[in-house]
Structures are given as structure tokens and as C-alpha cells.
């Protein structure tokens, strides 16, 4: 079970979630295209996550595309007050599986309607702009999210894959509840964005928190293994515990299609790292 009942974060000041969430990108087909081999397994993973106490699920229109959101709509009641489902728009997929930024404001508003339908909700709890589109004015794309919020189709707005400057620009147009950037033991490139989030009380959703499933390499792996041994834990659990320990605003969303990995990841919230551990992982 998600262990520490008080270890929560208020997204946008009013959506209280346990800080360890679930990333629903891995419940689709290979390459995050099409349906998974077993849809019933995907349903089971989603339901089990909620049974284990996870109340924050992250997805996107581009996962599948549409498949991850549809599976969530089928397996869970996304209208529940005690469950926050965050989704995103702003990336198109082609038949080669590429992720193509598309920030056209009308397109983004169209995608919000398709996500609302697949998730089976009246409004999206947290709607995130997936990635700035170099061919569209960033502020025009963000303005579309602001208008969706004004229209009541979206409760909170988040941004993803942004610099500190882009975060500040977005905040000129709309209250930004969360930022989702890659961040993990093995990739601390966006530490400046995390600092900015901390300062502003914005949730920071570190994606790829277990290193895209690699469990990391080289010195990082060695350090994680040393700490894991001290606690009879796995390097994946150490990586998640480190993110939770690193700041009060981090909301890691490990992704998995495996019931065993899910249980292991959720149990990471029970792992208390010592000062010695943190020094090893620094």
C-alpha cells in the first residue's frame, strides 16, 4: 500500500494526491502504438494501482494514441473525487511512431474533447501541454489551455518539457499547477526547473523516474545498488524513494505493465533513506 498517508501534495491547491503516482504510458502496445497484447492485464494493472492506494494517474492522448486514455476510462471511474487523472495534448504520432509536436490552439482544444470522451469525465482534472512546438507560438498554445480552463473543460493546467523561462511565460497566461520533465537519479538536467517549482509551490512530475526501465548504469547504478543492499530493496525502489526524498513537490509516476513491478514501485514509498544513503546517491 502507499504507506505514508500524510505524504501528499495538493495539486493546484485543491487536488490532494499521494505523491507516488502511476504513469500509464506503458499499458499500450509496443512503441506506445496501438493496444497492448492483453487489455485485461492493462485493466488489472490500473485497478490494482488504485487498490494499492495510488490516486494520481498520468496519461496522454498520444499514448496509443488514444489507447491509454480509453483503457483508463474502461478500468477506472475517472470521475471519482478521490482519483486524479492527468492527461496531455500537443504531440501527434505517425505510422513510424515518431512524436511530433503540434501546438495549434484549435487542435489542442479539439484534443481536450476527445480526452474527455475517452476518460468518461465532464472535465479533465489536470491538462498538460506535452511539449513546446517550435512551429507554433508557445504563448498561443498556452492560451488555448487557459481558455479550456476558463470554459470549465479543464480544472488545472500543467506544462511539460519546459525550461524555467517557458514555465514563467506560461505563468503569465494561466495558473500552472504542475510541470512534468524528465528527472531521476541518472538525469538531473532539470534541477533548475525543480527549484523553480519548489519556490512557487508547483508540483513537479519527474518522468522516466526509473531511468526508462534501465535501472541506470555506471556510477549511478553502483550507488543505487549499495543503498538497495542496505535496505533489502531494489534499485528501482531506491530511485523512487530518492525522488520522494529530494523535494516535497515531486510526484513521481513510474510506468509499468507488470503487476509485480507495480507492487514493487508502490512499496518504494515505504522506504526511508538515511543521510548516509542520500550522501551515497548525491
Catalytic residue among 63, 127, 183, 207: 63
Distances (CA, A) of 211 to 64, 214, 217, 238: 21, 5, 9, 12
Least Å distance between CB 183 and ligand NAP?
Answer: 10
Min dist CB 279 to ligand NAP, Å, is 24
Give least dist CB 175 to ligand NAP, A.
19
Report, in Å, the least distance between residue 185 CB and ligand NAP: 10
Using alpha carbons only, how large is the chain's radius of gyration in Å?
18
| Residue 153 or 267 with smaller CB distance to ligand NAP | 267
Alpha helices in the chain (DSSP H): 39-51, 67-75, 105-119, 138-150, 164-171, 191-200, 218-231, 235-246, 259-267, 275-281
Q: Beta strand pairing status for 56-58 and 22-23?
A: parallel
62 vs 277, beta carbon nearer ligand NAP: 62
Contact (CB, 8 A) for 70 and 98: no
CA atoms of 242 and 265, how far apart (whole Å)? 12
In this complex, which beta carbon is closest to ligand NAP, that of residue 12 or of residue 211? 211
For ligand NAP, give the closer residue by CB, 24 or 177: 24
Q: What pairs with residue 10 in β-bridges?
A: 16
State how far the Cα of 19 lies from the Cα of 174, in Å rounded to an integer: 23
63 is catalytic: yes
Cα–Cα distance, 121 to 278 (Å, whole number)? 41
Site residues (vs ligand NAP, CB under 6 A): 23-26, 58, 130, 160-161, 180, 207-213, 236, 253-258, 261, 264-265
Instruction: Choose between 151 and 185: whose C-beta lies nearer to ligand NAP.
Output: 185
244 half-sphere exposure, CB direction, 13 A CA radius: 29
Query: Is-contact 128 88, C-beta < 8 A?
Result: yes
Closest CB to ligand NAP among 98 and 275?
A: 98
How far apart, in whole angstroms, are the C-alpha atoms of residue 282 and residue 275? Answer: 10
Q: Please, which residues bridge with residue 250 across strands? A: 204
Closest distance of CB 235 from ligand NAP, Å? 8
Q: How far is the CB of 38 from ligand NAP (least distance, A)?
A: 12
Query: CA-to-CA distance for 22 and 45, rounded, in angstroms?
Result: 10
Q: Are the C-beta atoms of 193 and 176 separated by less than 8 Å?
A: no
Q: Which residues are catalytic?
A: 63
Amino acid at each position: 500500500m502507499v504507506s505514508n498517508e500524510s505524504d501528499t501534495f495538493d495539486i493546484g491547491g485543491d487536488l490532494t494526491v499521494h505523491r507516488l503516482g502511476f504513469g500509464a504510458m506503458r499499458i499500450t502496445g509496443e512503441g506506445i502504438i496501438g493496444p497492448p497484447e492483453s487489455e485485461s492485464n492493462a485493466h488489472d494493472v490500473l485497478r490494482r494501482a488504485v487498490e494499492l492506494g495510488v490516486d494520481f494517474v498520468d496519461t496522454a492522448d498520444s499514448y496509443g494514441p488514444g489507447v491509454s486514455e480509453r483503457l483508463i476510462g474502461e478500468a477506472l471511474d475517472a470521475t471519482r473525487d478521490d482519483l486524479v487523472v492527468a492527461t496531455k495534448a500537443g504531440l501527434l504520432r505517425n505510422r513510424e511512431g515518431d512524436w511530433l509536436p503540434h501546438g495549434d490552439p484549435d487542435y489542442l482544444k479539439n484534443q481536450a474533447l476527445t480526452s474527455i470522451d475517452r476518460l468518461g469525465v465532464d472535465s479533465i482534472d489536470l491538462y498538460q501541454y506535452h511539449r513546446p512546438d517550435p512551429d507554433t507560438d508557445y504563448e498561443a498554445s498556452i492560451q488555448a489551455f487557459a481558455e479550456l480552463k476558463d470554459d470549465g473543460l479543464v480544472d488545472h493546467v500543467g506544462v511539460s518539457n519546459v525550461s524555467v523561462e517557458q514555465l514563467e511565460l506560461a505563468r503569465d497566461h494561466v495558473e500552472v499547477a504542475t510541470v512534468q520533465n524528465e528527472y531521476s537519479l541518472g538525469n538531473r538536467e532539470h534541477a533548475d526547473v525543480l527549484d523553480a517549482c519548489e519556490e512557487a509551490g508547483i508540483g513537479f512530475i519527474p518522468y522516466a523516474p526509473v531511468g526508462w526501465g534501465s535501472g541506470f548504469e555506471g556510477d549511478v547504478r553502483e550507488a543505487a545498488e549499495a543503498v538497495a543492499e542496505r535496505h533489502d530493496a531494489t534499485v528501482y525502489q531506491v530511485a523512487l524513494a530518492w525522488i520522494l526524498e529530494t523535494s516535497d513537490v515531486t510526484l513521481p509516476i513510474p510506468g509499468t505493465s507488470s503487476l509485480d513491478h507495480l507492487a514493487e514501485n508502490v512499496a518504494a514509498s515505504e522506504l526511508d533513506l538515511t543521510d548516509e544513503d542520500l550522501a551515497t546517491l548525491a
